[in-house]
Structure 1
Amino acid sequence: MILVAHPVGNQNVRALLGALNQRRLLHSFHSSLALHKDSWLCRLPVVGKECLRRTFDMVDGALLHSYPRYDVPRVLCDKLKWYSLTQRNIGMFCPENVYEHIDRASAQFLYNTARKPSQVYGYDGKCKALFTAAKAVGGITLNYEAAFGSISYACGMLDHEREANPAWRASIPNLSETTIRKQTAELALADRIIVASTFAKRTLGESGIAHQKVAVTPYGAPAPMVHKEVNVRAGGPLKVIFVGALTQQKGISYFFEALKIASGSVALDVTVIGADYANGRNQALNSELKKYRWLSSAPHDQVIRQLLAADVLVLPSLAEAFGLVVGEALSTGTAVIVSQNCGAADLIIDGFNGYVVPIRSAEAIAARLVELADDSEKLSALKHNAVFSAGRTTWDTYAKEVLDAILGQP
């Protein structure tokens, strides 16, 4: 039986929970708020929609354990724009305090429960106390999903950006030394490590983790949403889209610089979807966003509609262990330009369904944009091949591969 703990329950967590529950292998799930859709909390004003996002109907209610003390106030503070209370690392209701509370609570549960699990499954930066408790109890296998790859590696990339791009410092995530130390301790405690990409595995290797300890299980992607020939109307502007948090970790300054270079040669129609990490404090970003169509947030179905309307997704990440939007773009027949440090580059066959470019190279991105704007036949081929290559890995296959890795099956 396997105990799983995660603060919110992302799509990868849900896929694993569903597979474990179906096989009757789930011991319990521990989160900030884990509900069923018939909960009265889902009908409340203001927070009802957020509560609906925290429903896990695929899991038996008796196996769900909630620890909302910090996360519910965090959600309310964000909705009221009391950002000082949720600021990373220092706010009373910052994400780090949410993670710490759930980690300690699930560890205490493990100590107290009479029915011990045979394995625990934790996530990076969020399970040090749980893993320490499991080691103390003894006889429990520790599985660790490094969803971010090596946080230390990402910090090194961002430290470089602070010096190289001072105008964009407000958009650089502050990954604290405490977070790095916590992941280092978790990695040392883990018996098995799961990552979603070869890039993430490489970053762990550069941090001294033996490659035999790490299994690569790619995240799932939707089945193709386009079932006919994808054509491009010659003569129109190239429709470019960026989807993701507006941070320098996503390479956002290089995206805008590439647009500036390419627009000197070809017509571009640009859509940007993503929350402003800097909350308006980055004047360079504010200036760029005024030039293009910007949606600070959008429901998932609207994101899919925007991808269906786009020609090419650009994701020039400096350190990203995967990038789920890449799989979604392929399924909608959207060509993709990603950096070599985006884990979802594993899904891209260079020149077939998109392009893989060096990090920090606005020039390389711009050259590909100009090429696709000038060559409608090439763009049509990439979009057609995107659909052809989509859906090779589903969430069901992701969950199966994770279970194979942690249960020792071939």
Structure 2
Amino acid sequence: MNGAAIRAEQRGKTVAVFHPGLQHSHQLAWGLYERGMLQTFWSGVPVQCADDKAPAYMPAQWRKKIRGTAVPQALRRHPVWWQMLLRARLLARTAPTRHDYTHRVFHWFDWWVAQQVRALKPAAVVGYENSAWHTFKAAREVGATCILDAPSLHHEDAKRLIDVPSNGYIDEINRRKDEEVQLADLVITCSDMARESYLRAGVDERKVRSVLLGAELPAGVARRPDTARPVQFIFAGTLSSRKSIDLILDAFARLNADGHCADLTLVGGSEEPQWLTLARQVPHVRCLAGVPQKELYALFADADCLLLPSRFDAFGMVVVEAMATGTPAIVSTMTGAREVITRFPDSGWVIEPTEEAIYRSMREKVADRRSIRDASQSALAASRYFTWRAYRERVADLIAETLE
């Protein structure tokens, strides 16, 4: 191997991954580590290997929610101050204030990381949407490739679909997002739907690629046998207008108007107190706060059908998580995970994000429970394709190809 080839190989093995929170960044970093390409992984939310000890400062209820990884501790940093700064948003009294504060924290993280990039001098950096502007500018200074992982839709599409609560900081957020895309050599979206939103905004199609996310069933979680109980629907995610929680509750109330034929479990926090108040007024609705990952899978395994008819959702990881337990999903045409059902047509149902469409689809499942049982088998087949291992391989292939 000549000197140039050796230097190219060495540079290809130094990719730095930075995220102010977590999302699926630990899986991307894990994929790079398995390929021998990871230099370092920093996130504002900690992950751990099987033999790691949970941080002593962390409350017990938080420790149960820590995600696992194979990336060794020597290659990871999870500074405690970013976790505390993100948690402090709960002190804000209004949704616009919480929104703007959260994104300011992301911007502070971006500035802090940029200072480190100049010292690390990686061959490439992977930054996340709205926290990579300073990072990418620093990366350019040291000759690094800039890779933007963009889990949401382009902000122009998002603005058309739903109002974002903000006290005016949204303009700065969107300006930075545009700069990040401009600086990026590669933009990775989590669905073709999200990719198309970037193309509509005029981004060069050659640098926008989609890699669908995945899920894996934890050990010890098994599907509950079918019984004669009412049909069990489940929703998991933030109770918000974007997730169509208002439409779900209205449709579910209609469904049970003539008698108890179904139950609904809502898992997750609420964007506004009004959604919890409304949910508690609807009979046969159970509300649960955020739960550890294994407990969420157990809830999916106990359900008959997942509801995710979002007004927009760039992917919707809960869809493949539910499918891993054999639970099919009702998703909207504006949910990126509809592509899972497109590839495995019998694994769920795609509808318009309207109250009438949600009601009709739920009513059909109540009237024909065999359709749920049949879809359950197809959902399991789909989940074997959309695993985290498969995602790690696909995303590592894409990044290796980009570095070449």
With structure 2 as the length reference, what TM-score do the two structures score?
Answer: 0.84
Residue type at the aligned position of 2:186: R
Tell me the distance in 2 between the aligned counterparts of 1:243 and 1:55: 17
Aligned pair partner of 1:116 in 99, 117, 121:
121
Residue type at the aligned position of 1:203: S
Report matched runs for 1:8-407 at 5 Å.
8-10=21-23, 12-32=24-44, 42-44=55-57, 47=59, 50=62, 58-75=70-87, 77=88, 82-84=91-93, 90=97, 94-111=101-118, 113=119, 116-137=121-142, 139-159=143-163, 173-174=165-166, 176-222=170-216, 232-233=226-227, 236-264=229-257, 267-278=261-272, 280=273, 282=274, 285-291=276-282, 292-349=285-342, 352-359=346-353, 361-407=354-400
Report the Cα offset of residue 345 of structure 1: 0.8
Report the Cα offset of residue 187 of structure 1: 0.8
1:143-195 deviations in Å (ceiling 9; x for gaps): 11111121231122113xxxxxxxxxxxx654822221111111111111111
Report the Cα offset of residue 60 of structure 1: 4.0
Tell me the distance in 1 between the aligned counterparts of 2:341 and 2:53: 44
Q: Give the match's secondary structure for 1:319.
A: coil
Tell me the distance in 1 between the aligned counterparts of 2:48 and 2:329: 37
Residue type at the aligned position of 1:59: V
Q: 1:358 to 1:36 in 2, by over 3 A?
A: closer
Q: 1:23 to 1:228 in 2, by over 3 A?
A: closer
Tell me the distance in 1 between the aligned counterparts of 2:20 and 2:221: 37
Q: 1:89 to 1:39 in 2, by over 3 A?
A: farther
Q: What are the ranges of 5 or more consecutive residues in structure 2 without an aligned counterpart?
A: 1-13
Tell me the distance in 1 between the aligned counterparts of 2:56 and 2:396: 35
Instruction: Check whether the contact 2:221–2:301 (CA below 8 A) recurs between aligned residues.
Output: no
Q: Give the match's secondary structure for 1:18.
A: helix
Tell me the distance in 2 between the aligned counterparts of 1:376 and 1:83: 44
1:275-320 deviations in Å (ceiling 9; x for gaps): 0111x2x2x6512333211112222222222211211111011121
Tell me the distance in 1 between the aligned counterparts of 2:346 and 2:401: 35
Residue type at the aligned position of 1:19: G
Residue type at the aligned position of 2:208: V
Q: Give the match's secondary structure for 2:363.
A: helix
Question: What is the aligned partner in structure 2 of residue 165 from structure 1?
Answer: none
Q: Give the match's secondary structure for 1:348.
A: helix
Q: Give the match's secondary structure for 1:249.
A: coil
Question: What is the aligned partner in structure 2 of residue 169 from structure 1?
Answer: none
Tell me the distance in 1 between the aligned counterparts of 2:218 and 2:308: 20
Tell me the distance in 2 between the aligned counterparts of 1:19 and 1:259: 40
Identical aligned residues as a percent: 26
Tell me the distance in 2 between the aligned counterparts of 1:198 and 1:391: 20
Tell me the distance in 2 between the aligned counterparts of 1:380 and 1:41: 40
Residue type at the aligned position of 1:371: E
Tell me the distance in 2 between the aligned counterparts of 1:53 and 1:372: 32
Tell me the distance in 1 between the aligned counterparts of 2:73 and 2:316: 31
Instruction: Check whether the contact 2:265–2:286 (CA below 8 A) recurs between aligned residues.
Output: yes
With structure 1 as the length reference, what TM-score do the two structures score?
Answer: 0.83
Residue type at the aligned position of 1:288: A
Tell me the distance in 2 between the aligned counterparts of 1:124 and 1:32: 14
Residue type at the aligned position of 1:101: W
Q: 1:90 to 1:374 in 2, by over 3 A?
A: closer
Q: Give the match's secondary structure for 2:384.
A: coil
Tell me the distance in 2 between the aligned counterparts of 1:54 and 1:72: 15
Q: 1:88 to 1:136 in 2, by over 3 A?
A: farther
Instruction: Check whether the contact 1:42–1:49 (CA below 8 A) recurs between aligned residues.
Output: no
1:121-159 deviations in Å (ceiling 9; x for gaps): 11111100001112233x321111111121231122113
Instruction: Check whether the contact 2:221–2:298 (CA below 8 A) recurs between aligned residues.
Output: no
Residue type at the aligned position of 2:123: S
1:77-121 deviations in Å (ceiling 9; x for gaps): 46xx6334xx6674699322321222111111122x1x5211111
Q: Give the match's secondary structure for 1:94.
A: helix
